[in-house]
Structure 1
Amino acid sequence: MRTGSLKNLNYAERGDVKESLLNASPIMAGYFVVAFVFGVMCLNAGLPVWFPAAMCLFVYAGTAQFAALALLTSGASLLPIVLSTLLINSRHILMSMYMSKKLGPVGMSGLKKSLYAFGLTDESFAMHSQRLESRIATTASYLLSFNAFCHVSWITGGFAGAVASEYLAKFISFKLDYALTAMMLFVLVALCNTTGKRIVALVSVATTIGMNFIHISPLNVFVATAVGCGVGVCLKKSSS
């Protein structure tokens, strides 16, 4: 009986991994292309081949990595680079706090929670929070493998871009810079499955466009997020 239970558990875990791979595949494709561009830029800046792969492995933060690369190439010291990276990624504190409450029913150990927090990105947060809010059966194997697939794709893209940079730099700079935008659009469309969510998305987009028109671009993401959250809370209260 015990052996049969273990076999069933392993079979269930394999099913979770397959499902996570299927759901993560669009994000993986976007991550690979964006990291590929990052690898090309690192080599063009005179950095060694191993550098983009190592940064993708240990830092794993798209915007922060590009910002750090820009600071490195401009001759900035280590402190501004570290502080800029921490500031850009400060939103992960709120994301992790939110997910820690949602992960209760999943039953993760402390180590697994730490691994999950390290692999949490904007896109995985959006997909996982939506899944947990919808009360879809979710296991630790699904969540961890989802993050792992995305991370491996990011590392592979960074290394591949570094290796191929000598031959494809011009092609990359002109043809693949749409990848991050396309990936975010996929996530947005996938999540906007109710009228309320579509309203929140439209309000956030309109706020961002308005902020751009009045030239307050450094704050547009934060303001649009705050306005969108406020509208979402109001809609949820009015419907309850």
Structure 2
Amino acid sequence: MRTRSLNNTIPDVKSDLRESLLHASPIMAGYFMVAFVFGVMCLNVGLPVWFAPAMCLFVYAGASQFAALALLTSGTTLIPILLSTFLINSRHMLMSMYMAKKISSIKMSGLKKSLYAFGLTDESFAMHSQRIENGLSTAASYLLSFNTFCHLAWIAGGLSGALASQYLKKFISFRLDYALTAMMLFVLVALCNTTGKRIVALVSIVTTIGINFIHVSPLNVFVATAIGCGVGICLKKFSS
């Protein structure tokens, strides 16, 4: 695997920026639309315009932000909101541990590593881990700029939604809650480029649907993920 640091030449950094922007653009589009909905919802429940972009900047977690918004509007105290956010985002600890090992050979300062971990999302983790698995360049400039572009799109979406809700309220009569699902489907299709990965994806989807028929719970996705991972490990073991 070829790796480079941010100390490379300017042309290399510019190339990484262009490449990361190109690869991040579908995710950015999805993030913008989902955050736009979040911004609209914030204004609809009486929060100020600055709240949506500020939360997009400092929290940067789709499910947690929507959950926190629902809890805030129901009068919930701070502790349950913090606990809910921690539980929803607990998977990020595993993703960060995995990526820390994979990018250990890349020269990055402690601050840059912290920024990278903060900007790591489900979608960026999927794209970056796939890139590493394929032995492609994982320069620090590429990884950091990829996350930054996605985060900026998230902030811009939250701000745009809040402003639109305040000044163009009469024109916002459409629903955009499908955007996150559409974006995740794009990522799934892009990553399922082998038979083994398609099998894992199919098992995870069928498991999720089956469990939801029995009992609907936010924890179902974690159970389905664990089963899918187990199937993936077995397939990799038997194919080697």
| CA distance in 2: counterparts of 1:97 and 1:192, whole angstroms | 23
Deviation at residue 138 of structure 1 after TM alignment = 1.4
| CA distance in 2: counterparts of 1:194 and 1:169, whole angstroms | 46
Q: Which residue of 2 aligns with 1:31?
A: 31
| CA distance in 1: counterparts of 2:112 and 2:177, whole angstroms | 34
Deviation at residue 167 of structure 1 after TM alignment = 5.5
Matches within 5 A, 1:38-117: 38-117=38-117
Matched, 1:184 2:196: no
Matched, 1:216 2:233: no
| CA distance in 2: counterparts of 1:92 and 1:173, whole angstroms | 34
Question: In structure 2, do the counterparts of structure 1 residues 173 and 129 end up closer, same or farther at CA, with 3 Å as the change threshold?
Answer: farther
Letter in 1 for 2:231: V
Matched, 1:193 2:221: no
Matches within 5 A, 1:112-151: 112-151=112-151
Q: Which residue of 1 aligns with 2:3?
A: none
Deviation at residue 107 of structure 1 after TM alignment = 2.2
Q: Secondary structure at the match of 2:108?
A: coil
Question: Which 10-residue stretch deviates more, 195-204 or 215-224?
Answer: 215-224
* Dislocated runs of 4+, deviation >4 Å: 167-173
Consecutive unaligned residues in structure 2, runs of 5 or more:
1-5
Identity %: 78
For residues 112-167 of structure 1, the C-alpha deviation after alignment (integer angstroms, 9 at most, x for no partner) is 11010000000000000000111101100000000000000000000000000145
| CA distance in 1: counterparts of 2:35 and 2:147, whole angstroms | 16
Letter in 1 for 2:154: W
CA RMSD of aligned residues (A): 1.7
Letter in 2 for 1:10: I
Q: Flag the structure with higher helix content.
A: 1
For residues 192-221 of structure 1, the C-alpha deviation after alignment (integer angstroms, 9 at most, x for no partner) is 010000000000000001011112333210
For residues 7-58 of structure 1, the C-alpha deviation after alignment (integer angstroms, 9 at most, x for no partner) is 9710000000000000000000000000000000000110000000000000
State the TM-score, normalized to the length of structure 2: 0.94
Q: Which residue of 1 aligns with 2:158?
A: 158
Deviation at residue 169 of structure 1 after TM alignment = 5.3
Consecutive unaligned residues in structure 1, runs of 5 or more:
1-5
| CA distance in 2: counterparts of 1:170 and 1:75, whole angstroms | 28
| CA distance in 2: counterparts of 1:131 and 1:102, whole angstroms | 11
State the TM-score, normalized to the length of structure 1: 0.94
Question: In structure 2, do the counterparts of structure 1 residues 148 and 168 end up closer, same or farther at CA, with 3 Å as the change threshold?
Answer: same
Tell me if the contact between 1:32 and 1:154 (Cα under 8 Å) persists in the aligned partners.
Answer: yes
Tell me if the contact between 1:37 and 1:172 (Cα under 8 Å) persists in the aligned partners.
Answer: no
| CA distance in 2: counterparts of 1:221 and 1:173, whole angstroms | 31
| CA distance in 2: counterparts of 1:175 and 1:24, whole angstroms | 24
Deviation at residue 173 of structure 1 after TM alignment = 6.2
Deviation at residue 110 of structure 1 after TM alignment = 1.4
Letter in 1 for 2:182: A
Q: Secondary structure at the match of 1:107?
A: coil
Question: How many residues are treated as equivalent by the alignment?
Answer: 235
Deviation at residue 83 of structure 1 after TM alignment = 1.1
| CA distance in 2: counterparts of 1:173 and 1:230, whole angstroms | 43
Deviation at residue 108 of structure 1 after TM alignment = 1.9
